[in-house]
Structure 1
């Protein structure tokens, strides 16, 4: 029970952290912050936050760095940070927090499809565990698509009394009603695909380089240089890098420390113990949290499609988790029986007689 509880709680904490980032970052960008600059600052603060932990906690246990591992971490920095975060934040700026989180829910499907050829996941459609994973993934994606592209009538749940007044001043309330349904979703889909690629590569890194703090610090450092170059390419104005606004510095520090430094370490730890699919299927939980926070703080309206899609996503999430848990239990029992047979002494009856 303990072995299942800690990874579960870890991923729930990660999703809560990401939910706060979506709300705060949306407000920061609507206040005028360049999304490319936001991503660059995020990596700067993430590197500063995680570097001390990597040095002091793993200086005696850190494995030897090889050219192959260094190259894999470099690929992780490109797909898991630079491409993933730039496309996500630009997509978030051109959509709403709820739509952005909804479209990240193709992660389980993409990850599952990509993990099978690499031998990291098995389809196993003849087993109940495999059927649950496949059906759960389909239901998750179906719920996300329903939430994204079907609104329906407004759910009359009353008006939130705790809405964020600062969001009104930045124009966030009005921006969520003017969504670019072409640019936003396309960039968010690219972000989800790059995230799935990172999960696959990170699995290899975790297997060969058992130092999650060090690998995360190096990944964030590489991504810092990459994102700064991209930010200057799209915006040469130095005033865009100003952090005089409170919401800008809060968003940058929060995103860097909580959603990069802490989240990458926690997810790397979970990937090492549970595999990439286990981590990816928690993304639907983020959608539910953000939908509630967007309604409460930004006064984003909840529609029938939002509620129905959220229900499907939660059902699909538990379906995949049930299948994954049953699959791992079967593997554990097989390994346990094999170990018992190996430990049982075999006697030669003729020699005994």
Structure 2
């Protein structure tokens, strides 16, 4: 039972993420503004987080300093911009495109971390090459996903809602893809700001699964979100699944795996180096003790 819990947790996390995207697409297709949706969702999230922090973390609150206030402001600003571009892009395109484009976040985070000198780049190591090539491949997949639709491969014969807004034109699809790319950049900047002002916030199920199984295990479930979004979009929203969407999504996921593999290998190398350093330092004490004992016996 304990072995299966991480699998169940990651499936639930992907379903929750895709469910939010599906709901946002549905309500905005009915006429709700993206600003109103962001306001409602953030108000509900703030209420839940406020109550949970008062109940479970009352004694762990750090002092409110000026730097923390600035960090909150920047996190709120970039978080709002990411949501604005993201939900607008989903409204113009589809949940499948939105879910697939989210896999660009690790690549853009790597680029921004290098630009702000938070990530060391050594082109002689295979981990840096894997992350760099993975980022390039992911961006290439995003171009395929945005600019090439191809023939339809899966569509509903009688969609539940035949509103013209659900059948986006090519121009809206391209604009939506570009807005989703900007959303990924803003999300990456949001992560970088977390690294500048403190450790990243640990988020529920995904963090627990990450601690239990490692980043490679977590990344294995990313294609599941694309599949769930594609199936739900066709069934509940009447979207059409195109060949370009599948090809671009596969390319993005391959690049995503490369970036995550490079990060996982760096983490393993760091852990191994720490273990070796600890073992070498722990061995010094017995050697010193034996040396003292030998000298003492000689003196005697």
**Conserved 8 A contact 2:107-2:256:** no
Aligned pair in 2 of structure 1 residues 278, 87: CA closer, same or farther (>3 Å)? farther
Residue 198 of structure 1 corresponds to: 190
Gaps of 5+ in 2: none
Q: Measure how far apart 1:331 and its partner are.
A: 0.4
CA distance in 2, matches of 1:269, 1:62: 22
In structure 2, the residue matched to 1:138 is 136
Once the two structures are superposed, what CA deviation does each residue of 1:115-145 show, in whole Å capped at 9, x if it has no partner?
1244543333322322222222222222232
Give the structure with higher Rg (CA): 2
Q: 1:88–1:191: 8 Å Cα contact kept in structure 2? A: yes
Partner of 2:75: 76
* Cα displacement (A) at 1:272: 10
Task: Write the distance in 1 (CA, Å) between the matches of 2:262 and 2:119.
Answer: 12
Q: Is the 8 A contact 1:140 1:284 kept in 2?
A: no
| 1:55-70 to 2 correspondences below 5 Å | 55-70=54-69
Shift of 1:180: 2.0
The total of aligned residue pairs comes to 290
8 Å Cα contact 2:89/2:175 also seen in 1: yes
Q: Which moved more, 1:12-21 or 1:26-35?
A: 12-21
Q: TM-score, normalised by structure 2?
A: 0.79
Q: Which residue of 2 aligns with 1:41?
A: 40
Asked whether the 8 Å contact 2:21–2:95 carries over to 1, the reply is yes
CA distance in 2, matches of 1:270, 1:278: 8
Once superposed, what is the RMSD of the aligned Cα atoms? Answer: 3.7
Q: Which residue of 1 aligns with 2:176?
A: 184
Instruction: Please list the CA deviations of residues 220-242 of structure 1 after superposition, one character each: whole Å capped at 9, or x if unmatched.
Output: xxxxxxxxxxxxxxxxxxxxxxx
In structure 2, the partner of 1:342 is: 281
- Could you tell me which runs of 5 or more consecutive residues in structure 1 were left unpaired when the two chains were aligned: 214-263
The 5 A counterparts of 1:110-149 are 110-149=108-147
Change beyond 3 A, Cα 1:317–1:9:
farther
- 1:311 maps onto 2:250 in alignment: yes
